[in-house]
Chain A
Amino acid sequence: EVQVVESGGGLVQPGGSLRLSCAVSGFRISAYWMSWVRQAPGKGLEWVANIKEDGSEQNYVGSVKGRFTITRDNAKSTVYLQMNSLRVEDTAVYYCASSAIWGQGTMVTVSS
């Protein structure tokens, strides 16, 4: 059975940092691009970033470029999202995903 578990969310002040983790089991992440997708309260889905199978290429949505970094450790079957200089508008549920495989999300709240 495939399991995707995100962790690391929480409440942070504007300008702060958080590191999200996505632990995957029952699925060989080394063969797939992995993404982070977010959903602000009451809003639609927004793709945030993705990373190539071997970690050699990363892409970001414009609003997080220079602030967020996606990495992966295939040996640990884990994907990360380092989020710096957080803004109120980054408040959302953050999902780790690869097409058909999604976690249940972790909530990030940026507020003073």
Chain B
Amino acid sequence: EIQMTQSPSSLSASVGDRVTITCQASHDIKNHLNWYQQKPGKAPNLLIYDASNLKTGVPSRFSGSGSGTDFTFTISTLQPEDIATYYCQQYVSLVTFGPGTNVDMK
């Protein structure tokens, strides 16, 4: 079973800040990684697929990179509506989510 870790588990940032979240897989998952945003009481929303592809309609301030075991998710300029929990998800072998990163406003 592939395990996923994320860091940090939570962070506080100001509007306009650059926010970076890392995700690490226990085995090589190539680029089979998604990033989701989840707001309280809502279903997750896919932002990035195949590690670095922006889903249509998602603002360009969101980006993803990486392959193999190490991945990065970036919000280039944090907006108030970006307050949420972010999850990485691998799908090369079954499916596993990372534990999530809670992003709030400083």
Contacts and interface: CB of A to CB of B under 8 A. Distances in A.
B96 A47 contact: yes
A13 interface: no
A59 interface: yes
A68 interface: no
Interface string A22-38: 00000000000001010
Contacts of A100: 46, 49, 55
Contacts of B64: none
A105 B45 CA distance: 13
Given A45-B100, A102-B43, A105-B43, A35 B95 contact: yes
Interface residues of B, number: 21
B63 interface: no
Interface residues of A, number: 18
Contacts of A37: 44, 95, 97
B31 interface: no
Contacts of B89: 45, 47
A99 interface: yes
Interface in A79-104: 95, 97, 99-100, 102-104
Given A44-B87, A102-B43, A50 B95 contact: yes
A49 B31 CA distance: 21
B49 A99 contact: yes
Contacts of B98: 44
A9 B42 CA distance: 17
B38 interface: yes
A59 B91 CA distance: 12
Interface of A: 35, 37, 44-47, 50, 59, 61-62, 95, 97, 99-100, 102-105
